[in-house]
């Protein structure tokens, strides 16, 4: 074991924006734990993603953003007779900012307190568990990020993605984006919040974890700034996304100005070898799994790629070390601890899957005894009983063995994980034992209900076994989520609808569906052997491209698959309670639904409450006590906001923006969308922002006049009585009541309603 003074060799590990904001990611804690166990005592880790979200979602940052929007996107700039697609996004951003900015700035801190449970008043503690407080708080934070995005238009930052007008497919675009202060919000964030800390610390190594495409530009932005300020700091990058495109990044001109090396696949052993070589002043030729620039000639750095390092034995690895992460900044009232039970996939046959490329060669697992011991250690160290077991899918033996070890250890934890359909492992008794060990949610790779497609995917599962496993888990009160895919090569609309009908038919045992459209990348079997799938892969559009367009002789086109995606999502909103109405925010926030399950709610009970909530809103009627929602903001518009939202939601318009998953552009999509989607004609409209609910509502001129009259008279009953005294007909009064009922359903009008029966989680929080 290497023994070093704690300050001998400072290392900083950073997780760049943008990643999940509800719980820590596992990458940095694993690396820190390995370095510590190897004698490196001075290892700092920074979750810059959640720090950035916390920084942007403050009154100060949002006020600055609102001022920028006023300068860059004033609403009165859009005075044309027609609004073409090319200006529609900017107009929408300007309209939303004008309506919501003041309210969002005023409410942002309270909204964060609701999600975090940090304000120890009764109301704030109650807030996270109460959907009528939780969902408006989430909306407020989303709209805060839309305000930040508008200030840097056309960039878009959400809790789930970050895109700019630049394409991730092009190294020229990516490098230009790192210097664009107008579009890149992270330059200012790094300059103000991050660089002073790094300059003071002077780390010898800065490691950046890039797992998602949305992190590429933010990571390179920081790397470039650190390289300029601390030229002696070795900047290395690693993570899943770079396992895909790292070779292309190393081959791209100009990248050597930003960083020094890339670690491929898992990072523990290579990072330790890199630190050792740098500490001892040795060359990097023997550092396994490393690509680096030989700077012997400073003017002409040469890319070098070393042999792969041997993967580590997971049972030899220590428990993840979360020390130093900003636990108080995650947008969750209780920390969910990530823990890797295995790496790789024991099945490894699915033709669309690329995970072995990300993880590295070989499948490895920790023993159930090690997992149970680490879970207890982490539970006690971080005072949390909630875990996210990171796994591509648990092997059948572990499904049987791990619950016994957790129960024997009296771990007293709750957990959720990804899984594979294994009928023998998830039988009725096995599912009950999983629940007893703390399992509350499992996500299964379902993909399709069409046997032909499943055979092409080499899923190795039957629909009978899918139903059997899902039902056993549901009856054991374990929530079941299905991963599903639309647009697999040669899939027809009818086959996609068969998948949809299967899910609808079994909505009693399926709580959530994580749906995605098929993407073909350069490491999957679908790319390497396209003839087996009846497709022709098209050339990639840029030098960093991972994903490709393709053509098929039969089945849906990529555009038709995108349309089918929308059809399926619309069905889920109708048939899955957690997707209905604004309940979908529970699905969108990683681990929040799980926390309700972990706190005593059953899947059926939670779904029932979601369904009741949606139904109750749909049944809102006109009653005499209705009043205009306090803090309602009204902004006059020259075009229809709802028409703009519908147009921008069209698959053609969405294809003209960087893809949600990949950040790439569909070639010529903007031109096609501009030709086929009509511009908006001038129409007098009013955009309302309801600060209480955090929702946008559009009214016509007549509706705005009714709203003004309601404000003047105080209540609907008073307005109706005044109209009756003025001689209004009963038909006119009926129309007024119908309109008021619709405004009530939209949240614009409020009435005093009975307090709903609290959920078990809410009752626990109050008790």
Mean pLDDT of 286-309: 95
The helix/strand/coil state of 611 is helix
More confident residue, 122 or 111: 111
Q: Does 752 score more than 80 pLDDT?
A: no
Greater confidence, 753 or 245? 245
Q: Is the pLDDT of residue 249 over 90?
A: yes
* Torsion, CA 302, CA 308, CA 314, CA 320, rounded to 10: 0
H runs (alpha helix) in 548-629: 558-575, 584-588, 592-598, 603-618
**Do 330 and 21 contact (CB within 8 A), yes or no?**
yes
Query: What integer pLDDT is reported at residue 356 of this predicted model?
Result: 62
Integer CA distances (angstroms), 497 to 77, 363, 492, 504, 580, in order: 44, 35, 9, 10, 20
pLDDT at 1 over 50: no
Q: Could you tell me how many residues make up the chain?
A: 767
User: Of 663, 490, 505, nearest to 561 (Cα)?
Assistant: 490
How far apart (Å, rounded) are the C-alpha atoms in residues 501 and 449? 9
Percent share of the chain, pLDDT over 90: 78
Q: Is the pLDDT of residue 5 over 60?
A: no
For 170, the 3-state DSSP assignment is coil
pLDDT category at 652 given cuts 50, 70, 90 is: confident
Give the pLDDT of residue 358.
66
pLDDT of residue 123: 54
CATH of domain 620-639+682-767: 3.90.930
Q: Are 10 and 294 in contact (CB under 8 A)?
A: no
pLDDT band, very low/low/confident/very high, at 118 (cuts 50, 70, 90): confident
Looking only at the bridges linking them, the beta strands covering 156-158 and 161-163 are antiparallel
Residue 122 has pLDDT above 70, yes or no: no
CB 365 within 8 A of CB 316: no
d(Cα 26, Cα 390) in Å, to the nearest integer? 8
Residue 581 structure tokens: 């109405």
Helices (H), 57-203: 59-72, 85-116, 122-127, 131-151, 171-177, 185-189, 195-201
664 pLDDT above the threshold of 70 = no
Token pair for 421: 């359909």
The predicted-structure confidence for 190-244, as pLDDT tens digits, reads as follows 999 999 999 999 999 999 999 999 999 999 999 999 999 999 999 999 999 999 9
Whether 139 has a pLDDT exceeding 90, the answer reads yes
What pLDDT is stored for residue 360 in this prediction?
65
Q: 320: which DSSP letter?
A: P
Residue 334 has pLDDT above 70, yes or no: yes
Domain ranges of the chain: 11-49+168-305, 334-613, 620-639+682-767
pLDDT at residue 755 is higher than 60: no
The answer to whether 663 and 216 are in contact (CB under 8 A) is: yes
d(CA 94, CA 99): 9
* Inter-residue contact 588 to 713 (CB < 8 Å): no
Query: Angle between the 131-151 and 48-56 helix axes, to the nearest 10 degrees?
Result: 90
pLDDT value of position 254: 96
Confidence of residue 304 (pLDDT cuts 50, 70, 90): very high
Report whether 339 contacts 387 (CB < 8 A): yes
Mean pLDDT of 472-482: 97
List b or e across 607-636, with b for residues whose CB sees 16 or more CB atoms inside 10 angstroms: bebbbebbeeeeebebbeebbbbeebbebe
Is 753 within 8 Å of 723 (Cβ atoms)?
A: no
Distance in angstroms (rounded) separating the CA atoms of residues 177 and 173: 6
| Mean pLDDT, range 483-504, rounded to an integer | 95
Residue 423 scores a pLDDT above 50 = yes
Distance CA 686, CA 599 (A): 42
Kindly report which listed range (44-48, 313-317, 324-328, 667-671) carries the lowest average pLDDT score: 667-671
Percent of the chain with pLDDT over 70: 94
Average pLDDT, the chain: 91
What Rg do the C-alpha atoms of the chain give, in angstroms? 27
In whole angstroms, give the CA distance from residue 311 to residue 360: 8
Average pLDDT over residues 485-503: 95
What is the three-class DSSP state of 624?
Answer: coil
At residue 765, the pLDDT reads 46
Q: Which CATH number fits domain 11-49+168-305: 3.40.50.2300, 3.40.50.720, 2.60.120.260, 3.90.550.10?
A: 3.40.50.2300
Helices 730-746, 716-725: axis angle to 10 degrees equals 160
CA distances from 480 to 237, 421, 432, 509, 513 (A): 35, 11, 14, 7, 9
Mean pLDDT along residues 43-52: 98
- C-alpha–C-alpha distance, residues 726 and 511, integer Å: 52
- Answer for the pair 422, 399: CB distance below 8 angstroms, yes or no: yes
Average pLDDT rounded to a whole number, residues 355-381: 87
Task: Extract the tokens encoding 242.
Answer: 């770079």
Q: Is 668 helix (H, G, I), strand (E, B) or coil?
A: coil
767, pLDDT greater than 50: no
CATH of the structural domain 334-613, one choice from 3.40.50.300, 3.80.30.20, 3.40.109.10, 3.50.50.60: 3.80.30.20
Bond prior to 35 in cis (omega within 30° of 0): no
Instruction: Decide: helix, strand or coil at residue 764.
Output: helix
Whether pLDDT at 592 is above 90:
yes
Q: Is the pLDDT of residue 703 over 50?
A: yes
Angle between helices 85-116 and 131-151 (to 10 degrees): 140
Q: Of 569, 583, 582, 577, nearest to 603 (Cα)? A: 577
Confidence band of 392 (pLDDT split at 50, 70, 90) = confident
Question: How confident is the model at residue 539, as a pLDDT?
Answer: 83
Residues 516, 503: Cα–Cα separation, whole Å: 15
């Amino acid at each position: 074991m290497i023994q070093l003074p704690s300050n001998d060799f400072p290392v900083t590990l950073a997780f760049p924006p943008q990643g999940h904001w509800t719980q820590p990611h596992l990458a940095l804690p694993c690396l820190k734990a390995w370095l510590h166990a190897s004698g490196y005592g001075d290892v700092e880790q920074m979750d810059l993603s959640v720090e950035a979200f916390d920084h942007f979602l403050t009154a100060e940052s949002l006020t600055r953003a609102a001022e920028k929007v006023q300068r860059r996107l004033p609403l009165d700039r859009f005075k044309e007779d027609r609004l073409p697609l090319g200006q529609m996004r900017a107009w929408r951003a300007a309209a939303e900012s004008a309506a919501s900015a003041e309210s969002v700035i005023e409410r942002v801190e309270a909204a964060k307190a609701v999600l975090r449970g940090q304000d120890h008043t009764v109301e704030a503690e109650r807030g996270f568990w109460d959907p009528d407080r939780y969902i408006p708080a989430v909306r407020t934070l989303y709209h805060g990020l839309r305000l930040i995005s508008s200030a840097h238009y056309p960039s878009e930052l959400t809790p789930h993605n970050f895109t700019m007008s630049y394409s991730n497919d092009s190294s020229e675009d990516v490098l230009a984006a790192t210097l664009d202060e107008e579009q890149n919000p992270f330059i200012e964030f790094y300059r103000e919040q991050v660089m002073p800390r790094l300059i003071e610390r002077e780390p010898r190594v800065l490691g950046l974890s890039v797992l998602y495409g949305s992190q590429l530009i933010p990571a390179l932005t920081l790397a470039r700034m650190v390289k300029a300020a601390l030229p002696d700091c070795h900047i290395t990058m690693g993570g899943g996304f770079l396992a895909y495109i790292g070779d292309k990044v190393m081959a791209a001109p100009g990248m050597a100005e930003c960083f020094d090396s890339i670690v491929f696949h898992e990072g523990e052993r290579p990072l330790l070898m890199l630190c050792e070589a740098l500490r001892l002043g040795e060359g990097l030729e023997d550092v396994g799994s490393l690509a680096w620039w030989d700077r012997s000639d400073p003017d002409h750095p040469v890319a070098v790629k070393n042999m792969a390092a041997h993967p580590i034995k997971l049972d030899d690895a220590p428990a993840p070390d979360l020390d130093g992460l900003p636990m108080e900044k995650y947008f969750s009232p209780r920390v969910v601890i990530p823990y890797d039970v295995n790496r790789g996939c024991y099945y490894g046959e699915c033709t669309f899957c690329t995970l072995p490329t990300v993880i590295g060669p070989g499948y490895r697992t920790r023993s159930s005894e090690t997992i149970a011991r680490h879970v207890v250690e982490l539970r006690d160290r971080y005072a949390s009983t909630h875990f996210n077991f990171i796994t591509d899918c648990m092997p059948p033996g572990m499904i049987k063995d791990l619950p016994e070890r957790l129960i024997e250890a009296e771990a007293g934890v709750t957990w959720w994980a990804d899984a594979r359909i294994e009928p023998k492992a998830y039988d009725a008794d096995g599912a009950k034992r999983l629940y007893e060990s703390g399992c509350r949610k499992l996500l299964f790779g379902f993909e399709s209900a069409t046997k032909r497609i499943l055979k092409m995917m080499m899923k190795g599962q039957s629909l009978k076994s899918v139903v059997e496993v899902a039902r056993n888990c549901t009856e054991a009160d374990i929530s079941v989520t299905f991963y599903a895919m639309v647009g697999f090569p040669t899939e027809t609309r009818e086959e996609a609808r068969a998948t949809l009908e299967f899910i609808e038919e079994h909505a009693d045992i399926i709580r959530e569906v994580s749906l995605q459209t098929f993407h073909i990348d350069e490491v999957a079997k679908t790319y390497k052997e396209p003839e087996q799938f009846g497709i022709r892969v098209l050339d990639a559009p840029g030098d960093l491209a991972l994903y490709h367009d393709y053509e098929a002789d039969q089945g849906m086109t990529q555009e038709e698959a995108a349309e089918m995606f929308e059809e399926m999502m619309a069905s889920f909103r109708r048939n899955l309670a957690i997707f209905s109405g604004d309940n979908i925010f529970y699905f969108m926030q990683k681990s929040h639904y799980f926390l309700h399950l972990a706190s005593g709610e059953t899947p059926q009970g939670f779904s029932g409450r979601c369904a009741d909530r949606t139904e109750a809103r749909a049944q809102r009627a006109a009653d005499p006590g209705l009043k205009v929602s306090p803090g309602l903001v009204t902004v006059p518009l020259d075009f229809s906001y709802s028409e703009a939202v519908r147009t921008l939601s069209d698959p053609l318009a969405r294809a003209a923006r960087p893809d949600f998953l990949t950040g790439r552009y569909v070639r010529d999509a903007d031109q096609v969308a501009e030709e086929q989607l009509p511009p908006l004609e001038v129409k007098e409209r009013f955009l309302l922002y309801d600060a209480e609910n955090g929702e946008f509502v559009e009214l016509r001129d007549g509706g705005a006049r009714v709203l003004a009259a309601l404000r003047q008279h105080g209540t609907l009953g008073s307005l109706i009585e005044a109209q009756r005294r003025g001689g209004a007909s009963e038909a006119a009064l009926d129309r007024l009541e119908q309109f008021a009922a619709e405004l009530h359903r939209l949240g614009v009008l409020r009435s005093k309603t009975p307090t709903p029966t609290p959920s078990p989680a809410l009752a626990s929080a109050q008790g």
